[in-house]
Structure 1
Amino acid sequence: MSKEKIKIDGMSCGHCVARIEKAVSEIDGVEKFKIKLKDAEAKIKFDETKVPLEKVMEVITELGYEASSI
């Protein structure tokens, strides 16, 4: 299992957080994903053999937010 931090720009409220958390949590290989809105950061625990971090960031981008690895 890998643990990473992701910077997410463009979130403005709890609805944004819930939308992203739901989408990312449904990705096969993601074990845990939690966003801190005030820090605009997320912590993720995932199985890199099932899903690369780039795929997770791609899903966030497709939702209309900017994601980058910290």
Structure 2
Amino acid sequence: MESITLDVKGMTCGGCVNSVKRVLTSIDGVSLVEVSLDSGKVQVGYDPARAQPDQFKAAIRDAGYEVS
């Protein structure tokens, strides 16, 4: 398993946190999602044979947030 930490902008409440968690956990190969509303950091644990960071970023953008 690999891990990546993404900076996400635009999260303002618990609903935003849940939305980001939901879109990321729906990606095949993602096994862990930890979201910090205060810092805007999202840690994703994943199997690199089944998922890639570009997928995470696209899913977060599609949910309406900025990611880097």
TMscore range, shorter length = over 0.9
TM-score w.r.t. the length of structure 2 is 0.95
Give the alignment of 1:27-66 within 5 angstroms. Answer: 27-66=27-66
Q: How much identity, in percent, do the aligned residues show?
A: 26
TM-score w.r.t. the length of structure 1 is 0.93
Which residues of structure 2 form unaligned runs of 5+? none
Which residues of structure 1 form unaligned runs of 5+? none
Pairwise CA distance, 1:18 = 0.4
4+ aligned runs moved over 3 Å, structure 1: none
Distance 1:7 1:41 in 2: 5
Aligned pair count reads 68
Provide the secondary structure at the position in 1 that maps to 2:22: helix
What's the C-alpha RMSD, in Å, of the aligned pairs?
0.6
